[in-house]
Copies of this chain bind each other. A is one copy, B any other.
Amino acid sequence: MRGAGSPRLLLFFLGAKGRQFGSGHLQLRTAAMAGPEWPSLEQCLEKHLPPADLREVKRILYGKETRKLDLPDTAFEAASEGEFELQGYAFEAAEEQLRPAQTVRVGLVQSRTPLPADAPVAKQVAAAHRRMEAIVEVAAMCGVNIICFQEAWTMPFFFCTREKLPWTEFAESAEDGPTTRFCQKLAKKHDMVVVSPILERDTEHGDVLWNTAVVISSSGAVLGKTRKNHIPRVGDFNEVSCPSDDQPSSLTFPESLWPIEARNAAVANHCFTCAINRVGEEHFPNEFTSGDGKKAHRDFGYFYGSSYVAAPNSSRTPGLSRSRDGLLVAELDLNLCRQANDSWNFKMTGRYEMYARELAEAIKPNYSPNIVKE
């Protein structure tokens, strides 16, 4: 992350969708495949496994158990009234003699777009702001210090349409666009850092569009921004934005990859990762194809939520629901990062000079891999 604070908290903002089963509003599902109504892996395991087996399965799937956070009743009541899920967990680190615990509460918000994609742009943005305002109120009750929203949170995930207008009108200035100004108010009101991933319009560089996470400090200042650097071109992910030199990318749209990539990154980099996905189905006014040989359709499939936090010691929280809006509160002791670093010793034993050299070799136009054949 460039210009945006701690390297110990990586964020994965993902558009991670379930399979497409039909077209338009009519979802034709096969009997073999549950849709978004299948609530979550965790709920299924908890319903069916005997306690001793559940403990083993969770140990293998989630690592060292996270402690359930004792969040205020008023927060649960407000979440229930606002029709979103609330869960909270704590990751603990070993006590140290010279460093106090560096405890921070992170909030991850997964949500559906409140208005249909064909509503006027300004109304969609305003509705997303209102919805987020309500959820962040609850985050504040839970003592959240850093609140993180999903990728392109003010808009439908329109990249699948490959259309420009009206969608490019969702792009805003990262410094003083309406969404940044909204987040600055939130940050000051709740004394909270806000990570706000938007589609950025950069007029300074000739109206370039970027996929940008804006980081706003608790004082309300724009602390920095990171722009996604690896823009994928796969299936319906045809982003209009430009690849930047900042934020790494991540793309995990088969659901079987969702529990994998962010956890691997947390361990490999000795940091916490927050994997945030949206929920719900988004329908577009004009039909489009997905390059998969299937008929033209107007929907993107459903986004399967399941947002979670992963720790450098290979543990993770359970995920939020696959279909409901939700707030996941995670208490992190950042001391765990250096403890994992000292335990694994990757930076002492890793062969970074060699990797840099080999990578530099491999990208040369005349590179030829050394393959031995008999």
Which residues of A are interface residues toward B (Cβ below 8 A)? Answer: 2-7, 32-34, 38, 41, 44-45, 48-50, 52-53, 55-57, 59-64, 217, 219, 221, 223-224, 229-235, 243, 245, 251, 254-261, 263-264, 267, 313-315, 343-346, 348-356, 359-360, 362-363, 369-374
Q: Which residues of B contact A6 (CB under 8 A)?
A: 371
Q: Determine the residue in chain B with the shortest Cβ distance to A306.
A: B60
Q: Which residues of B contact A351 (CB under 8 A)?
A: 229-230, 243, 245
- Option from B55, B235, B267, B372 in Cβ contact (under 8 Å) with A4: B372
Q: What are the 3 closest A-B residue pairs judged by CB atoms, nearest first? A: A63-B256, A264-B264, A356-B359
Chain B nearest Cβ from A353, distance in angstroms: 6
Q: Which residues of B contact A221 (CB under 8 A)?
A: 374
Q: Determine the residue in chain B with the shortest Cβ distance to A232.
A: B349
Known contacts A61-B259, A259-B61, A373-B5: does B56 contact A349 (CB below 8 Å)?
no
Give the distance in Å from the alpha carbon of A203 to the alpha carbon of B348 in the complex: 27
Known contacts A232-B349, A344-B234: does B41 contact A224 (CB below 8 Å)?
no
Chain B nearest Cβ from A251, distance in angstroms: 8
Give the distance in Å from the alpha carbon of A223 to the alpha carbon of B45 in the complex: 47
Q: Report 29 cross-chain contacts, Cβ distance below 8 Å, ordered by A residue.
A: A3-B370, A4-B372, A5-B371, A5-B372, A41-B57, A44-B56, A48-B53, A60-B256, A61-B61, A63-B257, A64-B256, A221-B374, A223-B374, A224-B372, A230-B349, A230-B351, A232-B344, A234-B345, A243-B349, A243-B351, A251-B344, A257-B263, A257-B267, A259-B260, A260-B260, A260-B267, A352-B359, A352-B362, A356-B359
Q: Which residues of B contact A53 (CB under 8 A)?
A: 44, 48
Q: Which residues of B contact A371 (CB under 8 A)?
A: 5-7
Give the distance in Å from the alpha carbon of A258 to the alpha carbon of B345 in the complex: 19
Flag if A259 contacts B60 (CB, 8 Å): yes
Chain B nearest Cβ from A369, distance in angstroms: 6
Flag if B32 contacts A354 (CB, 8 Å): no
Q: Which residues of B contact A363 (CB under 8 A)?
A: 352-353, 356
Q: Which residues of B contact A41 (CB under 8 A)?
A: 56-57, 60-61
Flag if B258 contacts A264 (CB, 8 Å): no
Q: Which residues of B contact A3 (CB under 8 A)?
A: 370, 372
Extra inter-chain contacts (5) besides given A6-B371, A356-B359, CB under 8 Å:
A7-B369, A44-B56, A48-B48, A254-B313, A352-B362
Q: Which residues of B contact A352 (CB under 8 A)?
A: 359, 362-363
Chain B nearest Cβ from A139, distance in angstroms: 21
Flag if B360 contacts A254 (CB, 8 Å): no
Give the distance in Å from the alpha carbon of A346 to the alpha carbon of B348 in the complex: 29
Q: Which residues of B contact A62 (CB under 8 A)?
A: 256
Give the distance in Å from the alpha carbon of A231 to the alpha carbon of B309 in the complex: 29
Q: Which residues of B contact A255 (CB under 8 A)?
A: 59-60
Chain B nearest Cβ from A272, distance in angstroms: 15
Flag if B245 contacts A354 (CB, 8 Å): yes
Flag if A374 contacts B219 (CB, 8 Å): yes
Q: Which residues of B contact A349 (CB under 8 A)?
A: 230-233, 243
Chain B nearest Cβ from A367, distance in angstroms: 11
Q: Which residues of B contact A63 (CB under 8 A)?
A: 254, 256-257
Chain B nearest Cβ from A363, distance in angstroms: 5
Give the distance in Å from the alpha carbon of A346 to the alpha carbon of B234 in the complex: 9
Q: Determine the residue in chain B with the shortest Cβ distance to A258.
A: B60
